[in-house]
Amino acid sequence: MQDLKTLLVECRIPQSTPRIDEVNDIAKAADYNVVGQVIQNRKTVDPAYCVGEGKLDEIRKTIEKDSIEAVIFTRQLSAGQIFRIKKKLGDRVRILDRNLLILEIFEKRSATKETMLQVTLARLRYTFSWGRESVRMRGIAGEQTGPSGPGEYPYEAYEAMSRKRISKIEGQLRDIRSRKAHLREHRGKSGFRIVAMAGYTQSGKTTLFNRLASESKEVGLGPFTTLSTFARKVSTSSDMKSSDSFIIIDSIGFIEDLNPLLLNAFHTTLSELSNSDLILLFVDSSDEILTLKRKLLASRKIMDKEISGVPFLICINKVDVVTREHLDKVLEETRKVFDVEEILEISSKTGVNVPDLLCRISERLAPAAMTV
């Protein structure tokens, strides 16, 4: 149980996307006790401290007055900014940016060896330059800044160790992946078609997975409830003939502006989806239109980069909680981003239109359809 008293800090510049609500959700999911928010509007981001130095002084006073234990910046901070902010706010407070927070939630939710290795790798790569930076900034907590051995600076040892760990983990991941490739081949030979679910985090993928596969995987714990890939067999009729069955795959959700180092960590998890025969792309219709538009664009970007070439069917989910008028707007926005004919309106939670969805999956997976 973490429960650190936490302050969120957002530096808003013209045209930047407000992130504070999303970061608030992720922070809560990672068990931070968010007690306040500081938003500063500026023309540009301060290169030294992200927010202005005066604002940071105010934040320091708030930290002392309210016994704040963690400060989370909603923007990505450079290593230099992190060290300067740490120096100003003191070592007692934990300083994070959105990426480090996402890494924490990834670590917390990692359930498989592969995910754990992927996340460790992402963190090592993300913090690779920190040793050098801490020396440049004259060290955290007075570490020595000169050579520690013949011609070797402390950061060189840190980097050499990181490099070693990185290549070890890469090797372990290669082994796991080749075993998984074997499994996939086996699945392919068994004649089962594969249907994968994709979409923004919290759009309702696992809720449908549980419904279809009679499973009870965790849902609704906030962003990134699911990190690993799960596969189960689903039958669209009572006999379990392979022509009526398919394998459904649940996976990690998308998020906007994920740092490439973090996205790459999940590249293979996502690219597993590109081996599928059909993708169900989830859209959360309960979002406000502006949020929906941003999430649609983010989904499109990730689909194009990671999973292009696989046919997909869009599932507008959570129709049980929205009006017809709102749904029509959702459809209109979805069509602007995705040039597809087939969009189904469903509710993973109540099961509305799920039988229709199963029919459409069967039809799309039928051999004749697959050759089109």
Ligand X SMILES: Nc1nc2c(ncn2[C@@H]2O[C@H](COP(=O)(O)OP(=O)(O)OP(=O)(O)O)[C@@H](O)[C@H]2O)c(=O)[nH]1
Query: Contact residues for ligand X (CB under 6 A)?
Result: 201-207, 219-220, 223-226, 253, 317-318, 320-321, 347-349
Give the residue from 274, 279, 300 showing the smallest Cα distance to 360: 279
**At its nearest, how many Å lie between Mg ion and the CB of residue 206?**
3
Residues of span 187-246 touching Mg ion by CB under 5 A: 205-206, 225-226
**At its nearest, how many Å lie between ligand X and the CB of residue 207?**
3
Measured from each CB, the residue nearest to Mg ion is 226
Q: What is the CA radius of gyration of the chain?
A: 23
137: phi then psi, degrees, rounded to nearest 5: -85, 20
Which residue lies nearer to ligand X by CB, 131 or 204?
Answer: 204
Which residue lies nearer to ligand X by CB, 131 or 223?
Answer: 223
* Tokens representing residue 309 in the block: 């070439």
Residue 321 contact among ligand X, Mg ion, none, beta carbon within 5 to 8 Å by kind:
ligand X
Q: How far apart are the first and last CA of the chain?
A: 52
| Residue 254 DSSP one-character state | B
CA 50 to chain centre: 23
Which residue lies nearer to Mg ion by CB, 206 or 334?
Answer: 206
**At its nearest, how many Å lie between ligand X and the CB of residue 67?**
32
Residue 257 contact among Mg ion, ligand X, none, beta carbon within 5 to 8 Å by kind:
none
Place of tokens 């999911």: 29
Any bridge partners for residue 245, and if so which? 235
**At its nearest, how many Å lie between ligand X and the CB of residue 213?**
13
Which residue lies nearer to Mg ion by CB, 75 or 205?
Answer: 205
Which residue lies nearer to Mg ion by CB, 90 or 220?
Answer: 220
Which residue lies nearer to ligand X by CB, 154 or 204?
Answer: 204
Residue 74 contact among ligand X, Mg ion, none, beta carbon within 5 to 8 Å by kind:
none
Amino acid at 74: T
Contacts for 111-117: CB closer than 8 Å, 24+ residues apart: 111/227, 111/228, 112/228, 113/176, 114/173, 114/176, 114/177, 114/180, 114/228, 114/269, 115/227, 115/228, 115/269, 117/169, 117/172, 117/173, 117/176
**At its nearest, how many Å lie between ligand X and the CB of residue 369?**
26
**At its nearest, how many Å lie between ligand X and the CB of residue 258?**
13
Interface residues toward Mg ion, by CB under 5 A: 205-206, 225-226
